[in-house]
């Protein structure tokens, strides 16, 4: 059995185009019904702001692996200089169930999250022909940082400016040298939000605060899921979710919109609808809001991708049975 550490994964590096293609391939396995993914249980005890989530899945198609991610979120960790989120993923051979690889996935988890966002951004770029695009990022922890890396790669020369807001003044050294001139650290969430063609929430906010009209034609990427007031439903022409049954719980903005504004599954689009269908084709002037709960199938596909890369590069440790 293989073991891949964080340094093994950093050695392999990130190829965003390949990662996003892997996520796209996985969306097609969802469309084909060639997957299994039970609703993920949340383990909570003592301080219920903490949680450990079990995320099992099988992904068919070219991925053909099953496995589980076991991911802990302890928000106060960052005060002790420990990352909020920590996880391991076990990959099992799809035919025999034999564990093939254990991966320290704290870094991979953030990469998978940004790659799912990246797939939606690519869809947006197909219908938005604006030459220059402004990006807003609210919350600049590991998830915000991976999103900056992904979006700057995807947009390339079309990236005009990035406005980042965090409750704690972000450390400028976390911003790559090549982006320093394009990145502004701003003092309010409104400054990140108002000009944004593409807005990403990457906070750990417990209550919503985004209560303004978004820029026309903007893409609102609600990664942290608890940032938009329910009235935002009036500004979003299309609400996209990764999985309605998953995301409509745990006090997400979608659940609150469901309970207070009557949003139902049929009032939303899924990733399959927008990636495998053309449900957003005529949405150039419209506001699209994406709400991903995080799907285990993407974790397994991402883990399998890094496992194959590691074997090809001779990276990783082989553990005795
Ligand atoms: N949807 C998904 O698939 C998915 C996957 C992974 C993580 N996430 C979510 O992404 C979020 C960020 O993860 P992380 O690991 O970077 O967390 P983190 O705690 O390490 O960092 C969060 C950052 O946001 C800042 N922040 C908190 N509240 C804020 C607010 N109201 N306004 C501005 N900044 C604020 C904090 O100061 C911190 O720098 C979490 O909510 C996590 O649950 C979602």
What are the tens digits of pLDDT across the range 92-104?
999 999 999 999 9
Residue 88: its pLDDT value, please?
Answer: 98
Q: How far is the CA of 265 from the centre of ligand 1 (A)?
A: 26
As a CATH number, domain 114-291 is 3.40.50.720
CB under 6 Å to ligand 1: residues? 75, 78, 84-85, 113, 138-144, 165-168, 189, 202-205, 223-225, 292-294
223-281 per-position pLDDT tens digit: 999 999 999 999 999 999 999 999 999 999 999 999 999 999 999 999 999 999 988 87
**Is the C-alpha dihedral spanning 64, 36, 28, 102 positive or negative?**
negative
Listing DSSP states for 1-42 in one string gives -EEE-HHHHHHH---HHHHHHHHHHHHHHHHTT-EE-PPPPE
Average pLDDT, rounded, for the chain = 96
Please identify, by atom number, the ligand 1 atom nearest to the C-alpha of residue 144.
Answer: 16
Residue 294 alpha carbon, nearest atom of ligand 1: 3
* pLDDT at residue 127 tops 90: no
What is the three-state SS of 116-179? HHHHHHHHHHHHCCCCCEEEEEECCCHHHHHHHHHHHHHHHHHEEEEEEECCCCCCHHHCCHHH
Q: Which protein residue has the closest C-alpha to ligand 1 atom 13? A: 143
What percent of the chain stands above pLDDT 70?
Answer: 99
pLDDT digits over 32-79, tens only?
999 999 999 999 999 999 999 999 999 999 999 999 999 999 999 999
Quote the pLDDT of residue 174: 95
> What is the C-alpha separation between 84 and 278, in angstroms, rounded?
37
CATH fold group of domain 2-106+296-318: ornithine cyclodeaminase, domain 1 (3.30.1780)
The pTM score is 0.97
Domains 2-106+296-318 and 114-291 share a fold: no
Residue whose CB lies within 8 A of the most ligand 1 atoms, among 71, 143, 222, 291, for a mutation test: 143
Test site for ligand 1: of 146, 150, 203, most ligand atoms within 8 A of the Cβ: 203
Question: Which pLDDT score is estimated for 201?
Answer: 98
DSSP per residue, 80-113:
GTS-SEEEEEEEEETTT--EEEEEE-HHHHHHHH
Q: How far apart are the CA of 85 and the centre of ligand 1, in A?
A: 10
Domain boundaries, the chain: 2-106+296-318, 114-291
Between 126 and 15, the more confident residue is 15
- Return the structure tokens found at 167: 């409750």
Q: Place 182 in a pLDDT band, splitting at 50, 70 and 90.
A: very high
d(CA 251, CA 256): 6
What pLDDT, on a 0 to 100 scale, did the predictor assign at position 98? 97
């Amino acid at each position: 059995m293989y073991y891949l550490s964080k340094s093994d994964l950093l050695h392999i590096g990130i190829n965003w185009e390949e990662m996003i293609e892997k996520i796209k391939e996985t969306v097609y396995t969802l469309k084909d019904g060639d997957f299994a993914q039970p609703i993920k249980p949340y383990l909570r005890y003592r301080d219920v702001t903490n949680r450990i989530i079990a995320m099992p899945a099988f992904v068919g198609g070219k991925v053909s692996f099953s496995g589980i991610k076991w991911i802990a979120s302890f928000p106060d960790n960052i005060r002790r200089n420990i990352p909020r989120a920590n996880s391991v993923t076990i990959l099992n051979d799809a035919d025999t169930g034999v564990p093939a690889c254990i991966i320290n996935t704290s870094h991979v988890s953030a990469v998978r999250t940004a790659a799912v966002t990246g797939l939606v951004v690519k869809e947006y770029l197909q219908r938005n022909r604006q030459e220059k695009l402004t990006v807003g990022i609210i919350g600049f922890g590991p998830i915000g940082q991976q999103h900056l890396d992904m979006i700057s790669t995807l947009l390339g020369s079309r990236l005009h400016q990035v406005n980042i807001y965090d409750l704690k003044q972000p450390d400028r050294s976390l911003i790559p040298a090549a982006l320093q001139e394009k990145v502004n650290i701003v003092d309010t969430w409104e400054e990140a939000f108002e000009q944004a063609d593409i807005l990403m929430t990457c906070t750990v906010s417990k209550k919503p605060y985004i209560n303004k009209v978004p820029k026309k034609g903007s893409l609102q990427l609600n990664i942290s899921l608890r940032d938009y007031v329910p009235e935002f439903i009036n500004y979003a022409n299309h609400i996209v979710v990764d999985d309605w049954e998953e995301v409509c719980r745990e006090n997400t903005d979608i659940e609150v919109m469901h309970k207070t504004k009557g949003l139902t599954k049929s009032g939303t689009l899924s990733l399959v609808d927008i990636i495998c269908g053309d449900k957003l084709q005529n949405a150039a002037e419209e506001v699209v809001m994406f709400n991903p709960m995080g799907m285990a199938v993407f974790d397994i596909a991402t883990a399998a991708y890094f496992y194959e890369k590691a074997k090809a590069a001779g990276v990783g440790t082989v553990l005795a049975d």
